Amino acid sequence: MAATSGEARFQMRTVYVNGEYRPENEASVSVFDRGFLFADAVYEVTSVLGGRLVDFSAHMARLKRSLAELGLPSPGSEAHLLAIHRELVRRNDLDEGTIYMQVTRGAADRDFLFPSEDTPPSLVLFTQANTLVDKPAARTGLRVISVPDLRWSRRDIKTVQLLYSSMAKTEAKRRGVDDAWMVEDGMVTEGTSNNAHIVAEDGTLVTRALSHSILHGITRAAVLKLAEESDIRIEERSFTIEEAKRAREAFITSASAFVMPVVEIDGTPIGDGKPGPVATRLREIYIRHARDTAI
Ligand code: PDD
């Protein structure tokens, strides 16, 4: 069913809510859902290329870890979640885009105390049709600003507490650029919804090591493996905005951006101000790998 909203025509999606596939305008969750009241929820975003899921098992492994860290109940087996993802791809005829999945601690009367453990979790999934491969930004690069990282200290858990990241990205747009890199104790943590990387003057790929300070990006892990296989030297360590400004290249990784060059930080062009060869090559290699391994 097609609907018209303003100038944009969009397709009425089928979404998944707690066991049912529903038209998006008929799907709902309780006002007492703890995801809504307490951000007591975790999520994953998996990309879809050619109607197939990229890095699905890795996303599910991270979901399992996020659930365990917060003592959230499991919404079902990997096979069950895969079946829902695939059914949403089929029902929405999704060729390229992402699937968002959220698990919450379920609905219970508002109380800071967690509800009893037999409270069923809420499970919501929806698709977003988007161009992921042929993005103009891959040819022009992104411009970013730096902002202080004011998020909580367990960024390794993929919770839906995204208000600060959302504020930072909105501030970046307000200042005429694309995104923000967050800085804590003088060191870059990550982008608002992506991992941050640089290519140092000697060609080494420098990226912050995994800890509680950043999300353990699935794309980051895949890209580092591919970089290693391409004989690119990798150093997992923190770096400053000043070092990033002096770098040969900078780029981000995420499930929706894949590898995307960054060409300017706080008004300073990186390298010659154009997407660099390492980021461009890693983007190509990653997309090929993603297409080859998607399920
Ligand atoms: N964001 N860091 C943060 C803070 C993120 O939100 C994300 C992903 C990443 C990259 O992780 P991955 O490679 O697994 O996507 C790093 C998703 C795409 C989002 O919130 O839409």
Write down all domains in the chain, each with its CATH number in brackets: 8-129 (3.30.470.10), 136-293 (3.20.10.10)
Maximum separation of any 2 CA atoms in the chain, in Å: 57
Q: Is 159 in the pocket of ligand 1 (CB under 6 A)?
A: no
Residue 215 CB–ligand 1 contact under 6 Å: yes
Query: What span, in angstroms and rounded, lies between the C-alpha atoms of 87 and 239?
Result: 42
Please identify, by atom number, the ligand 1 atom nearest to the C-alpha of residue 192.
4
Is the C-beta atom of 193 inside 6 A of ligand 1? Answer: yes
> Ligand 1, atom 11: nearest CA belongs to which residue?
217
Tokens found for residue 1: 């069913």
Q: Does 195 sit in the ligand 1 pocket, CB within 6 Å?
A: yes
The token pair that represents 111 in the structure block: 């109380």
pLDDT at residue 11 in the model = 76
Active site includes 173? Answer: no
Task: Output the CA torsion 197→199→205→207 (10° steps).
Answer: -30
pLDDT-flagged residues of the chain (< 50): 1-8
> So what's the pLDDT on residue 7?
46
- pLDDT at position 4 is 42
Provide the pairing of β-strand 52-53 with 41-49: antiparallel
Alpha carbons within 13 angstroms on the beta-carbon side of residue 1 total 8
60-66 long-range contacts, Cβ below 8 Å, gap at least 24?
62/158, 62/216, 62/218, 63/101, 63/103, 63/158, 65/157, 66/42, 66/157, 66/158, 66/159
pLDDT tens string 230-278? 999 999 999 999 999 999 999 999 999 999 999 999 999 999 999 999 9
**In this structure, which amino acid lies at residue 281?**
R
| Cα of 217 from ligand 1 centre, angstroms | 6
Q: How far apart are CA 177 and CA 59, in angstroms?
A: 29
Q: What is the pLDDT of residue 39?
A: 98
